[in-house]
């Protein structure tokens, strides 16, 4: 006797599960994608109830909706674990400056960069920020991302940081994508603290972190057991290692998981510090040296290169993705969507760049964009792989082979996006 379910997807050329229930994949394990040929997926109430050969599942289930996906591959929807999706204005004028030779750090030191976006974000209303971010999320969703981390960090004062977090919460309640909030008050020094970095660090620790923790305690995210993270930009013209450590540990004491922007332009020990305090992720890693890679090797801290930023900035040096994998660091990928260094919506494009410049195999980039990315934001028990009991967040691809996700450049390899068992794009 067959069981009745909501959705049965069958006859897939490949079902690529990306399952890794015991922790993120590392080393050679990143080539093991869990491929089932002629596969099927059964879904009920938005949750995966069975995965296996089509013949078996068609004999076991009758469904309200049936999708025959002959000639198509299915993989988990993408998880984008590092973005700055909520912001005001744009920085297209700075893009032109970079084209004619100005560096990111030169623009930042001259009062552009993050501070420019800060001004626009402070001036924007919550409604304006929501409308602009909603359009960005729509683009990301159409390209296959259904769970997205979003940072604050363009307020650089308590009121605007909280405004950004409220916008992220309202978007999570109203948009099909699932969102994960991160507090990034320590993104750079605002103009009013340009000559008083110690004073700004004290403001972040003594005023912003308690205010953010109070917001989270009364938020929808807390009710849904969605984690809150704290992040810091550990870099020249931003925060040094000791300042970063103090900020992150204060956040940890307030119940936040720690993340860090590190080794984007300079390597001076931030990666080792992140591992020491058991940060959940170290992101960028463009100039991470052998000591930093050794610290990450086998550690609990996820390594998250952001190659769209390197590509957009015209850099020729990328994170040592191959070295990180060979050292058995746990590696994930993200878009780093932001108006300055990475105006990029597309995880498939990030994967394609990682294949070519980080020397990752297609299997490794898929793992890095799904289950490992889910571990990077604390939601691997819910999403990131095609496993019984997880949300049915799925992508039906246009090709029969998942490797086409990053083989072709510039297009959208996703035919259909399914979120919690519902076809939405």
pLDDT digits (tens, 9 = 90+) for 352-382: 999 999 999 999 999 999 999 999 999 999 9
Per-residue model confidence (pLDDT) at position 240:
97
Q: What is the pLDDT of residues 197-217, one digit of tens each?
A: 999 999 999 999 999 999 999
The average pLDDT across 252-265 equals 97
Per-residue model confidence (pLDDT) at position 95:
78
Cβ proximity of 167 and 215 under 8 Å: no
Asked if residue 102 has pLDDT above 80, the reply is no
Asked if residue 108 has pLDDT above 80, the reply is no
Residues 6+ apart with CB under 8 A from 107: 94, 97, 98, 113
Per-residue model confidence (pLDDT) at position 93:
80
Cβ proximity of 396 and 418 under 8 Å: yes
Q: How far apart are CA 371 and CA 32, in angstroms?
A: 12
Q: How far apart are CA 313 and CA 286, in angstroms?
A: 12
Q: What percent of the chain has pLDDT over 90?
A: 92
Torsion of CA 93, 96, 100, 104, to 10 degrees: 70
Average pLDDT, the chain: 96
Q: How far apart are CA 62 and CA 104, in angstroms?
A: 56
Per-residue model confidence (pLDDT) at position 169:
98
Asked if residue 384 has pLDDT above 70, the reply is yes
332 is written with which tokens? Answer: 């994930």
Architecture of the domain made up of 3-76+384-423: Roll (2.30)
Cβ proximity of 49 and 416 under 8 Å: no
The average pLDDT across 128-142 equals 98
305 is written with which tokens? Answer: 């290169």
Categorize the per-residue pLDDT at 109 as very low, low, confident or very high, splitting at 50, 70 and 90. Answer: low
Asked if residue 110 has pLDDT above 70, the reply is no
Closest CA to 47 of 380, 381, 391: 391
Per-residue model confidence (pLDDT) at position 425:
79
Asked if residue 334 has pLDDT above 70, the reply is yes
Greatest distance between any 2 Cα atoms in the chain: 74
264 is written with which tokens? Answer: 């984007």
Closest CA to 166 of 155, 177, 176: 155
- Give the pTM: 0.96
Per-residue model confidence (pLDDT) at position 111:
64
- Which superfamily is assigned to 78-376 in CATH? Metal-dependent hydrolases (3.20.20.140)
Map out the domains of the chain as residue ranges: 3-76+384-423, 78-376
Asked if residue 188 has pLDDT above 80, the reply is yes
The average pLDDT across 403-415 equals 95
The average pLDDT across 62-85 equals 98
Closest CA to 384 of 123, 174, 149: 149
Per-residue model confidence (pLDDT) at position 76:
98
The average pLDDT across 167-187 equals 98
374 is written with which tokens? Answer: 């889910």
Q: How far apart are CA 358 and CA 364, in angstroms?
A: 11
Cβ proximity of 247 and 232 under 8 Å: yes
Asked if residue 395 has pLDDT above 70, the reply is yes
Per-residue model confidence (pLDDT) at position 131:
98
The average pLDDT across 27-35 equals 98
Per-residue model confidence (pLDDT) at position 75:
98
């Amino acid at each position: 006797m067959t069981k009745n379910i909501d959705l049965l997807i069958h006859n897939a050329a490949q079902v690529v599960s990306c399952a890794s229930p015991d922790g993120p994949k590392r080393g050679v394990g990143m080539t093991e994608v869990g491929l089932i040929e002629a596969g099927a997926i059964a879904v009920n109430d938005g949750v995966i109830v069975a995965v296996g050969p089509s013949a078996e599942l068609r004999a076991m289930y009758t469904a309200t909706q049936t999708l025959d996906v002959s000639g198509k591959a299915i993989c988990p929807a993408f998880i984008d674990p590092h973005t700055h999706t909520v912001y005001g204005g744009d920085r297209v004028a700075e893009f032109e400056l970079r084209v004619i030779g100005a560096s990111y750090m030169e623009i930042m030191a001259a009062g552009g960069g993050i501070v420019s976006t800060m001004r626009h974000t402070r001036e924007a209303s919550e409604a304006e920020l929501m409308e602009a971010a909603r359009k960005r999320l729509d683009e990301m969703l159409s390209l296959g991302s259904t769970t997205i981390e979003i940072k604050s960090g363009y307020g650089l004062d308590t009121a605007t940081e909280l405004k950004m977090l409220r916008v992220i919460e309202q978007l999570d309640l109203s948009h099909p994508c699932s969102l994960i909030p991160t507090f990034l008050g320590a993104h750079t020094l605002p103009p009013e603290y340009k000559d008083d970095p110690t004073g700004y660090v004290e403001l972040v620790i003594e005023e912003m972190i308690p205010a953010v923790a109070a917001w989270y305690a009364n938020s929808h995210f807390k009710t849904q057991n969605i984690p809150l993270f704290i992040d810091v930009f550990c870099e020249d013209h931003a925060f040094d290692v000791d300042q970063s450590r103090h900020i992150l540990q204060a956040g940890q004491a307030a119940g936040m998981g720690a993340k860090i922007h590190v080794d984007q332009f300079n390597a001076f020990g931030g990666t080792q510090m992140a591992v020491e305090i058991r940060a959940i992720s170290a992101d960028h890693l463009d100039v991470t040296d052998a000591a930093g890679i050794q610290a990450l090797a086998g550690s609990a801290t996820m390594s998250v290169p952001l190659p769209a930023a390197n590509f957009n900035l015209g850099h020729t040096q990328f994170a040592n993705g191959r070295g990180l994998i060979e050292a058995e660091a746990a590696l994930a990928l993200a878009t780093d969507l932001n108006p300055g260094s990475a105006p990029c919506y597309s995880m498939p494009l990030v994967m394609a760049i990682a294949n070519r410049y980080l020397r990752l195999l297609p299997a490794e980039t898929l793992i890095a964009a799904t289950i490992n990315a889910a571990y990077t934001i604390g939601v691997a028990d819910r999403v990131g792989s095609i496993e019984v009991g997880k949300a049915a967040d799925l992508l039906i691809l246009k090709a029969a082979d998942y490797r086409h996700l990053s083989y072709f450049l510039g297009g959208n390899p996703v035919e259909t996006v399914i979120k919690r068992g519902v076809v939405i794009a």
